[in-house]
Copies of this chain bind each other. A is one copy, B any other.
Amino acid sequence: MDAELPFSNLFLRGRLRQSLSKEEEHRLEAMISETADLKDGSIISRRGELCHRSTLLVDGFVLRNINSNGKRHIVCIQVPGDFVDLHGFALRRLDHDLVTVGAARVAYVPHEELNRTMEELPHLTRVLWFATLLDAAIHREWIMKMEQLTADNRLAHLFCELWHRLNFVGRADPDGYDLPLTQIDLADTCGTTSIHMNRIIGKLRRMGLVEFKRGRVTIPDRQALEQFARFTPDYLYGDGELHLPSDF
């Protein structure tokens, strides 16, 4: 199947992908007009620009940034399989920038194709809609964790979320995953300073919960980390309390 659908086969894997018919899966792959290999720091989409295509992340990581008062704020981290700027199809202009971290491979889908899908394939349309609302659910969880948790819990929570999301698409090992972020990136994601982030990383390492070296997150005891972070993966819409009905 991977050979058949080389670019779109990770989309919603482990979640709503199971509800796609073979025809829909092939249509999704066929919508791709072009692919590209991007290097670190490439801008996929810029705030305020009119969007004419959307980008499927095939490999690598992408950050959603909002700049305000000269500071960068990371509001979401995208992983392989994510349709990173599908929001731009309905919003027409994005409120944030999309930037790669590390090398990334992407596939572009022109908005004319999405328009055609909306007219012809309502079920696939609804699945695409779902994918954008999954991002919104993740946003809400982030708001909650910013409201509730201290910086060390927030970092632990982020590491837990990324493990699950990468695990859905087969990019996580039982004891960790690759992650090309700097401590500065993590600080901008958790709403703290790089100095404080550095101390927190040390604290979690000394507690034996998680080891972070640039490029790799190592989690010796995931259950302990999730408990510390007060993390439950339900909001990612895999299994759990919010699991989807089979007749979606």
Query: Chain A: residues with CB nearer than 8 A to chain B?
Result: 47-48, 50, 64, 66, 68-69, 71, 73, 75-76, 87, 90-96, 115, 118-119, 122, 125-126, 129-130, 132-137, 139-144, 146-148, 188, 190-191, 230, 234-235, 237, 241-245, 248
Contacts and interface: CB of A to CB of B under 8 A. Distances in A.
Given A66-B141, A140-B64, A144-B66, A90 B126 contact: yes
A148 B75 contact: no
A136 B243 CA distance: 21
A244 B130 CA distance: 23
A96 B133 contact: no
B75 A133 contact: no
Given A75-B143, A144-B68, A146-B191, A133 B244 contact: no
B143 A73 contact: yes
Contact of A143 (B129, B146, B243): B146
A144 B245 contact: no
Nearest to A74: B147
A148 B91 contact: no
